């Protein structure tokens, strides 16, 4: 195999794996060796370092928080798209429709509250799909205290997401109705309209940090195609914590290859990779 400019020894690869596991909970498989060489190789060149060992020593001994963040950013996988795994958004619309019927018209600040979390939001397509879809389906939501929290460990993708601008080509394959929800932004780009941008708050957040900084309960959490990078132990801990941040009967949406089996004590499986928090779970105040 062409190792490019830098060779990665088994020992160096073990050091990279240990560091990214400790920092981000990410378990790198043997198949990720080439990715590590190409992604971290760019950083080595920028820092004018001659080997992966020298880079890891540098991170341990002199690395700034920005250097540590660059290391993690380089090793995340950010693949995503608008309306990915469409059945989740169809389910969400049904649920929010029912919730809008049931929830009292007056919340504590005069408006009923709705909170959704996109955990591991990458470049923003997932939270914007939620915002665009729900605002189109329920025009009344503009009178609600409706917020989507969108977080990711990778600070580069969070910054891109907040800009809300995408290549027009990302709309390929969407229906005409969905494509019409975006605004033209010139130069082959489209923009998320202000009404949808305004309900989403993007923040960097490492899911491994404990406790999370948010206080409140969420009506729904999307944590899709994130836990596939974690080992079973890390997944188990994360799923337990997601259970306690949902309202009783709230929904958790996973990626197609992630599952909780039948759901255990905290959840019941109600659809394809859709879990409902069990009602006996302790209710918590909304944020």
Ligand X SMILES: C[S@@+](CC[C@H](N)C(=O)[O-])C[C@H]1O[C@@H](n2cnc3c(N)ncnc32)[C@H](O)[C@@H]1O
Residues near ligand X (CB under 6 A) are 24-26, 76-80, 84, 120-122, 126, 152-154, 157, 206-208, 224-226, 229, 255
Q: What is the rounded distance in angstroms from the CA atom of residue 264 to the CA atom of residue 259?
A: 11
Query: CB-based contacts of 239: which residues, under 8 Å, 6+ apart?
Result: 227, 260, 264, 266, 267
| Cβ-contact 273, 259 below 8 angstroms | yes
Closest CB 231 distance from ligand X, rounded Å = 12
- Compare residues 51 and 206 and give the one whose CB is closer to ligand X: 206
Half-sphere exposure of 229 (CA within 13 A, CB side): 22
Active-site position among 33, 39, 81, 178 = 39
Per the DSSP assignment, residues forming a β-bridge with 149 are 117, 201
- Compare residues 83 and 103 and give the one whose CB is closer to ligand X: 83
| Cβ-contact 162, 186 below 8 angstroms | no
- Compare residues 113 and 119 and give the one whose CB is closer to ligand X: 119
Closest CB 98 distance from ligand X, rounded Å = 24
What are 77's two structure tokens?
Answer: 């996988």
Closest CB 109 distance from ligand X, rounded Å = 30
Closest CB 133 distance from ligand X, rounded Å = 14
Active-site position among 152, 154, 219, 266 = 152
Collapsing DSSP to helix, strand or coil, 212 comes out as: coil
Say whether 152 is catalytic. Answer: yes
Which 8-state DSSP code applies to residue 266? Answer: T
- Compare residues 121 and 247 and give the one whose CB is closer to ligand X: 121
For the annotated catalytic residues, the residue numbers are 39, 152
């Amino acid at each position: 195999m062409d190792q490019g400019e830098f060779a990665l020894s088994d020992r160096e690869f073990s050091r990279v794996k240990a560091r990214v596991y400790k920092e981000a909970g990410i378990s790198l498989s043997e198949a990720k060796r080439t990715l590590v060489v190409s992604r971290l190789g760019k950083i080595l060149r920028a820092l004018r370092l001659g080997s992966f060992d020298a880079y890891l020593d540098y991170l341990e001994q002199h690395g700034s928080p920005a250097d540590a963040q660059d290391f993690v950013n380089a090793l995340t996988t950010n693949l995503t798209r608008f309306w990915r795994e469409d059945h989740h958004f169809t389910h969400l619309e049904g649920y929010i429709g029912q919730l809008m019927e049931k929830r009292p018209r007056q919340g504590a600040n005069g408006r009923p509250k709705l909170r959704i979390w996109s955990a591991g939001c990458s470049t923003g397509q997932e939270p914007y799909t939620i915002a665009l879809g729900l605002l189109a389906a329920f025009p009344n939501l503009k009178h609600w205290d409706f917020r989507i929290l969108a977080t990711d460990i990778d600070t580069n993708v969070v910054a891109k997401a907040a800009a809300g601008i995408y290549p027009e080509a990302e709309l390929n394959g969407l229906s005409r109705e969905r494509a019409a929800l975006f605004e033209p932004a010139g130069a082959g780009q489209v923009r998320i309209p202000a009404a949808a941008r305004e309900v989403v708050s993007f923040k960097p957040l490492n899911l491994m940090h404990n406790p999370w900084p948010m206080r409140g309960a969420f009506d729904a959490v999307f944590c899709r195609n994130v836990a596939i990078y974690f080992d079973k132990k890390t997944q188990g801990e994360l799923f337990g914590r997601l259970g306690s941040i949902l309202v009783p009967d709230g929904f958790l949406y996973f990626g197609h290859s992630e599952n909780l089996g039948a759901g255990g004590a905290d959840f019941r499986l109600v659809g394809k990779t859709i879990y409902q928090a069990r009602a006996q779970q302790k209710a918590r105040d909304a944020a």
